[in-house]
Structure formats: C-alpha cells, structure tokens
Amino acid sequence: MRTDSSRAPIRSCTRLVVTSLAVGAIASKLQTWSSSPSGLARLANARAKNEPMSLSPTRILRQQMARVLLLMVLLWIPALWAAEHAAKSVLVLYGDTEVPAYKIFDPALREAVSAASKDRVVFYTEYVNVPRFPEQKQQDAFVALLRERYGNRKIDVLVAVGPAAFDFISSRKDLVLTNAPLVHGLLSTARMQNHASSRLAAGVPVDFGGIATIELALRLHPEAQRLVLVTGGGDFGHGWEQRLRAETAKLAGKVKIEFLTGVPTSKLLEGLSALPPKTVVFTPGYFTDGAGDVTVPRDAVAAMTARSAAPIYTPYETHLGTGAVGGVVTTFGALGHQTGAI
C-alpha cells in the first residue's frame, strides 16, 4: 500500500541542495563588502570620526534584498521539512472486535504498510460490530461516530477487513470517507464481484477452501458415508450455506449430505453428540446461532468439537487448537502482509 512516489527522495535531496547553495550565496554576498579593503577603510574612518558611514543607494538596496532573501530561505526550510515528512493516515475497519483472525492480520498489515512507505504512517482502527449490533439505529450511530472523528481529518487510505466491514462501507452512501481509496482484506472473489465499486483500489481475494477441506476430509476417511455441514445464522452463516450447497452438489451419490443451518447451539450440540460412525463434519463456525445468540466462530467450533461424536474439519487457521482435526487453511498473517504491500 504505497503512499508516495519512488522519486520523492530525489526531489527532497535536490531541494535541500538548492537551499544550501542559496544560503551560501547569500552569506557570501553579505561578507563581500566587509571583507574588501576599501570597505574596511571606510568603516575605520567612519568609526574614528564617530560619524555614521554613508552607503550608496545601490548597496543599501542590495543589502535589503539579501536580508529579505535570507529570511525567506530560513522560513522555507522548516516548511519544506514538514511537507516532506508529513504523516499518511490509514483507517482500518474490522467487522468484529473479538475475531482472533483480525489480531493476526492487523500487525502484519501495519508492518507491510510501514515498510512500503517512506513517510510516517498513522493508523486508526474502528470496529463495525454488525453481528453484535445489527439494528439500523446502531449502524446510524456508528456512521455519526465516524463523521465526528474523521470528518475534518484527511484519510489517505481506507481498508475494510472482512465481509461485514466491506458490506457496511459499500452500503452506506452517507459515510463521510467517500474520497479515500478503498482497499479490501479477507474478502472472497465472489463477494468482491457482488459489490463492485469505483472506489475499490485493490485487494487480495481469498478462498478459504471449503470444498478443498471437505475433499481432504473424505480422502482421510474413505469409509465415510455421511457428511454433515454446520453453518449459523446471519449473513456469515447464509453466505457459507449457499456456497457449500453449490460446491458439494458434485458429491451427491458419493456420501449422504446433511445441512445443519441456523440451529440453536444447545440443540446443535445435542445432535452432534449423537452422530453415528462413518460421519464427517465440516463447519466454518458462526457468529450467530439459530436462537440469535452471538459468539465468534472459534468459540463455536470449540463447543462443537467438545461434544461431537464425529471428527470436525474447518477452513480457518484460528480454529486449530480447538479440537478440530484441521483443514486447507490460509494464514492470516500472510494475507495481512500481502494486503499491506499493495
């Protein structure tokens, strides 16, 4: 995410060299009169007679011009320094405060942006939290907050990380940050195409490997006769459900496919604990269950693995260590570096 031109260092050096030459030339002009023999003699005679020394109008004009020029140069140097070292501002919007993936993505993004820019970079971070506060009045209040904080502040780049943040930015035409170029992170290619925007500068599309993980699980369990796909409610859950129905259509006839979508957590855990042998479970986790209870995908997966009678596979690296077997995962740190390096 480059915030300046590669030729800027050359311009800076050139300006400083010109400034130094100008100061040297002025100093030389100011010393010419006092260092010349005739000048020194006239100064000595004037002092001996206690008389003010007269100067020609031309010499007086030259001295006044030299003083003005010297003052202009001295005022120009701090302004030039400040302009060349002005900070760039990056506002990063995340979907939820509790998602572990963002805690991996964010430091990698900051490191990559800072490394790509010769200017100092100031980061601002905000959380949309739509899964926790889906009411329209809450979203309006968040927009008002952004206006209050950033209405009079220049934002050079706006980064929307995750589907919730990107959908929020794309749907709010009244958002104050309409002139900042938009970069997306952790967004699938399909989601990016569905929300084409003239503001969209760039992004790193990602595929979290739903079907790839399912095919891996079936290879590791060739005896499997049943595939259970668990998704939650809300936009996150419905998006995954639609994707999995399309991707697993080719598996029909090979295994029995069962969807558990938007089920309350207590009922879901009860069903998973009673699964028969030769069953494999795939889940991306969920933010909201069928009862409207809010959680984060990692915690949802941890609860499922603690009760499931069948092995559980997942497409996210942050779900490893919860008891899930694993999956075809992409590291969030690598995605953060790639997004920041744009």
pLDDT of residue 151: 86
Read off the pLDDT band of 315 (50, 70, 90).
very high
The one-letter amino acid at 176: V
Choose the weakest-confidence range: 86-90, 191-195, 200-204, 258-262.
Answer: 191-195
pLDDT of residue 329: 92
Is the Cβ–Cβ distance between 15 and 80 less than 8 Å? yes
pLDDT of residue 17: 41
Q: Which two tokens stand for residue 297?
A: 């995908």
pLDDT of residue 199: 57
pLDDT tens digits, one per residue of 301-314: 999 999 999 999 99
Question: CA 88, 148, 153 angle in degrees (round to 5)?
Answer: 20
pLDDT of residue 106: 97
pLDDT of residue 120: 92
Q: What is the mean pLDDT of residues 40-69?
A: 59
- Round the CA-based radius of gyration of the chain to a whole number and report it: 33
Q: Which two tokens stand for residue 294?
A: 């809010």
Q: Would the pLDDT of 14 be above 60?
A: no
Is the Cβ–Cβ distance between 227 and 248 less than 8 Å? yes
The one-letter amino acid at 161: V
- Note the pTM of the prediction, 2 decimals: 0.72
pLDDT tens digits, one per residue of 95-127: 998 899 999 999 999 999 999 998 999 999 999
Of the chain, the end-to-end C-alpha distance in Å amounts to 4
Q: What is the mean pLDDT of residues 237-262?
A: 95
H/E stretch holding 91 reads strand 88-94
Q: What is the dihedral of CA 66, 71, 77, 82, to 10 degrees?
A: -160
Choose the weakest-confidence range: 17-26, 86-95, 153-162.
Answer: 17-26
Give 85's contacts (C-beta < 8 A, 6+ positions apart).
119, 120
